[in-house]
Amino acid sequence: MPPPGGTYEKIFAFGSSGLLSQSLTVAQEGTDSPEITASAKIPFWYDPNKRAIIYQVVVLGMVGLVAYYLFTNTLANLERQNIATGFGFFSKQASFEISESPIPYSAADTYARALLVGVLNTIKVSFIGIVVTVLLGTFIGIARLSSNWLVAKLSAVYIEVMQDIPVLLQLVFWYAVFYESFPPPRQALGPIRGVYLSNRGMVFAVPQMHPVYGYMALVFVVGCLAVWVLRRWAKKRQEKTGQSFPLFLVSLAILLLLPLATWLVGGAPLKMNVPRLVGFNFEGGTTLSPEFAALLLGLVLYTAAFVAEIVRAGIQAVSRGQVEAAMSLGLRPGKVLRLVILPQALRVIIPPLTSQMLNLIKNSTLAIAIGFPDFVSVANTTINQTGQAIEGVGMIMVVYLFFSLSTSAVMNWYNKKVALVER
Amino acid sequence: MQEVRETTAMKPPVTRIGVLGWVRTNLFSSVFNSFLTVVIIYFLWKIVPGLIRWAFIDSSWTTTGAECRAAGGACWSVVTKNLRFIIFGFFPYEWQWRPLLAMIILFTLLIVSRNRSYWKKWLGYSWLIGLFVMGLLLRGGLFGLPPVESTKWSGLPLTLLLSVFGLTAAYPLGVLLALGRQSRMPAIKSLSVVYIETIRGVPLISLLFMSSVMFPLFLPEGITINNILRAQVAIIMFTAAYIAEVVRGGLQAISRGQYEAAESLGLNYPQKMRLIILPQALKIVIPPSVGILISAFKDTSLVVIIGLFDLLKTTQSTLSDPRWMGFSVEAYIFIALIYFTGCFSMSSYSRRLERELYRGN
């Protein structure tokens, strides 16, 4: 029955606060049917709206009381134990070393800088971890569906085994492999030329710094812009004329050939920074510390198993009829994959994939168990030195909440973009 | 007279049936597949014999650490010689039958609960009694069992205790949070949402830190709670948020008609939830709940970081003994096997249950 007086709009207007809209409807019904005149006759404890208010006041009061109790206890304890409050320690000298850091850091720097190093290390391991995990997981997920029995079974075994072993155990396992099973640098294993595995980590050759690389990066960025413009133009042209443009090949050519041409023009520098054994350790090249390598390996291998399952489920969610229909329209296999399978599979894949990325970021906190200086590890040292547990734990929570929220914001944006493709 | 011609049924070509046919369709169906097969077989050929040699042929099983080093292969002795410490940790040696019995009770209950036809009231009561007996066996102090301090609880029993009691205590809390999130009362809804999303956004380790360094500050002077209970509280808080999300999925899967039917019968909110909605919703979410039990079981290994002696920590302290240094890989493989057995049996059960429940609907 439509309530007179345009109540729907009112309900709609107050829709966000459920209580208000309810009381409105009740009031409206009151005038609508005169035999139930008003809520005056009903004792207030039988009125669901008033009861709701009472419940909420009681719950909020209880939560407030508990919070107050904990707060006063904490204040008393802090005072008794002479622990400072606030973030004054930020500008004090940290006086502890951090084993690896992307920015210059020494024990003479402040706590704020030490914590920044922790954040950067966390970002580094999470970012590289997520990229490698998505690639490896996709690969294994596709392999799981292979028509080759060996490939399918091996991936299935991989997925099952990796999912069922705690990630912390995997981390300490890989760390032990690096530490105990690999020889010291003098007898380092060299599986490929220029790559050495030893108990000091993995050392590999990198190209010697040369100004040409900077130009190559610049050209690559310009290439990305060109591809973006080209894409828009090609899309417009196809909408207008129906002619399609070999966009993928041309973009690939732009992105690969332009930097390559720059490199050739720049004199094709080939000099590599090859690690050499000097004394008891390597010099030159780039080193992945055993801690970082073990952390990355453990996180990637563990999370990739979950990603593989998600990718498999996503691909299987696209019905065969879709593929057959696309083929009968005359699309080539590459286009079937790109235009029909992928957009539909991605829709299924993205939300659980996001939560796996968040898991990887959260699991990177286990670095503390093998001594990689991520944010939690640095914050823990800070807590131990300053005794300011509340600020420390609070910082950890805020930082990871921020990481989680920003990752989900990006993925939600991407998800929306993908979801739009379907209609 | 008609000529009788004998015909023999022509068999399919050998390359299409039997072993050969299977190999052809599954391993060499195309050029690319054949290439893959050859590459994989080559790598397996390179790796597997060496691995078998290391794990079984050159391995030592009941020797000392020094003999292990001489033998060169895998040193399973590190496990067999320290098995009781790895499993039971610091629990007094002569009383280690108590955690063993507690674990046997737990496994029996789990195995009995696998069968859905036993899901009756008596099973619930036996779980309650079982949990009580398990706690009693660990703690002692009654019926002539000497008390064992909780600081001595360690190894596998501690891992199981944290995950099983954690899930049991977190479930009611999770259901309440899920109901709170579905509630129409803005204050209760926002409290639940903030709690659930905060907990799900932060790593478990931050909660464990909170329990180990902040709880002592929260409590009035003179009151201390032991480490295990603190970690248990953190695990319960963490698990409850995940259970809440799972249960919310179940609540949303119940059609509106059920809610409306319950309301039109004149049931009030608690009756509606207890009699109509929750029985159906909780049934739907059994498989994902097993998934949460699996992650709780795996996540308890994190208590290592705040210094509790769970299965991983007892193993690590065995490995810090100079006699057994350097055999981490073997020891870790052993506890990985324990975790794998536990998780794999639970996850395959959860899959079976999902199939059965799906068929039931």
Confidence of residue A40 (pLDDT cuts 50, 70, 90): low
More confident residue, A182 or B230: B230
Q: What is the pLDDT of residue A325?
A: 92
Which of B40, B205, B340 is the closest to A164 by Cβ?
A: B340
A392 and B213: CB-CB below 8 Å? yes
Measure CA A143 to chain center.
24
More confident residue, A96 or A63: A63
Q: What is the pLDDT of residue A280?
A: 67
Q: Which amino acid is at A12?
A: F
Residue A82 has pLDDT above 90, yes or no: no
Residue A350 has pLDDT above 70, yes or no: yes
Residue A299 has pLDDT above 90, yes or no: yes
Residue B123 lies in a domain: yes
Residue A9 has pLDDT above 50, yes or no: no
Q: What is the pLDDT of residue B62?
A: 75
Helix ranges (H only) for B202-226 are: 204-209, 215-218
B40 and A151: CB-CB below 8 Å? yes
> Which residues of A, range 52-81, sit inside 8 Å of B by Cβ?
52, 55-56, 59-60, 63, 70, 73-74, 76-78, 80
Name chain B contacts of A368, Cβ cutoff 8 Å.
Answer: 205, 305
Residue B149: C-alpha distances to residues A50, B86, B91, B92, B208 (Å): 50, 19, 9, 10, 21
Q: What is the pLDDT of residue A275?
A: 73
Six token digits for residue B121: 């009231």
Q: What is the pLDDT of residue A26?
A: 45
> Which residues of A, range 25-54, sit inside 8 Å of B by Cβ?
52
Residue B181 has pLDDT above 60, yes or no: yes
Task: Pick the residue of A385, A397, A398 with the most B CBs within 10 A to test the interface with B by mutation.
Answer: A397
State how far the Cα of B203 lies from the Cα of A292, in Å rounded to an integer: 19
Residue B122 lies in a domain: yes
Residue B355 lies in a domain: yes
A362 and B202: CB-CB below 8 Å? yes
State which residue of chain B sits closest to A162, comparing Cα positions: B340
Residue B279 lies in a domain: yes
Chains A & B: contacts with CB separation below 8 Å: 159
Name chain B contacts of A60, Cβ cutoff 8 Å.
Answer: 187, 191
Residue B28 has pLDDT above 70, yes or no: yes
Residue A19 has pLDDT above 50, yes or no: no
Task: Pick the residue of B69, B195, B209 with the most A CBs within 10 A to test the interface with A by mutation.
Answer: B209
Residue pLDDT, tens place only, B80-124 = 777 778 888 777 777 778 878 888 888 888 888 877 777 778 888
Contact predicate B332/A172, CB 8 Å: yes
User: Residue B54 is inside which H or E element, if any?
Assistant: none
Q: What is the pLDDT of residue A1?
A: 41
Q: Given 3-state DSSP classes, what are the helix, strand and coil percentages for chain A, each rounded to the nearest 5?
A: 70, 5, 25
Q: What is the pLDDT of residue B144?
A: 67
Q: What is the pLDDT of residue A129?
A: 93
Q: What is the pLDDT of residue B95?
A: 76
B55–A contact, CB cutoff 8 A: no
Name chain A contacts of B354, Cβ cutoff 8 Å.
Answer: none
What phi and psi, each to the nearest 5 degrees, are found at residue A203?
-115, 130
Sheet architecture: strand order including A286-288: A195-198, A201-204, A286-288
Residue B19 lies in a domain: no
Q: What is the pLDDT of residue A22?
A: 45
Q: What is the pLDDT of residue B135?
A: 79
Contact predicate A125/A299, CB 8 Å: yes
Residue pLDDT, tens place only, B311-339 = 888 888 888 877 777 788 888 899 999 99
By percentage, how much of chain A surpasses pLDDT 70?
87
Q: Which residues of B226-259 are buried (b: 16+ CB within 10 A; e: fewer)?
A: ebbebbbbbbbbbbbbbbbbbbbebbeeeeeeee
Task: Pick the residue of A150, A182, A356, A378 with the most B CBs within 10 A to test the interface with B by mutation.
Answer: A150
Residue A21 has pLDDT above 50, yes or no: no
Confidence of residue A2 (pLDDT cuts 50, 70, 90): very low
B72–A contact, CB cutoff 8 A: no
Residue of A141, A148, A161 lying closest to B26 (CA atoms):
A148
Q: What is the pLDDT of residue A157?
A: 93
Which of A78, A164, A180 is the closest to B339 by Cβ?
A: A164
Residue A31 has pLDDT above 70, yes or no: no
Max mean pLDDT range (A17-21, A22-26, A314-318): A314-318
CATH of the domain at B165: 1.10.3720.10
Task: Pick the residue of B20, B197, B205 with the most A CBs within 10 A to test the interface with A by mutation.
Answer: B205
The interface predicted TM-score (ipTM) is 0.85
Residue B50 lies in a domain: no
Residue B356 lies in a domain: yes
Six token digits for residue A83: 């622990």
More confident residue, A200 or A151: A151
Q: What is the pLDDT of residue B3?
A: 67
Residue B23 lies in a domain: no
Name chain A contacts of B294, Cβ cutoff 8 Å.
Answer: 164
What domain count does chain B have? 1
Long-range CB contacts (within 8 A, 24+) of B37-41: B37/A148, B37/A150, B40/A150, B40/A151, B40/A154, B41/A150
Residue A74: C-alpha distances to residues A144, A228, A391, B219, B227 (Å): 53, 56, 12, 7, 19
B301 and A169: CB-CB below 8 Å? yes
Residue B23 has pLDDT above 70, yes or no: yes
Using N-to-C axis directions, what is the helix angle for A167-176 and B311-319, rounded to 10°?
Answer: 10
Q: Cα distance from B264 to chain A (closest Cα, Å)?
A: 15
Name chain B contacts of A151, Cβ cutoff 8 Å.
Answer: 36, 40
Domain limits for position B152: 83-360
Q: What is the pLDDT of residue A30?
A: 43
Residue pLDDT, tens place only, A199-237 = 777 777 777 777 778 888 888 898 889 888 988 888 888
Six token digits for residue B101: 């019995």
A148 and B335: CB-CB below 8 Å? no
Q: What is the pLDDT of residue B70?
A: 72
Max mean pLDDT range (A128-142, B20-34, B63-77, B315-329): A128-142
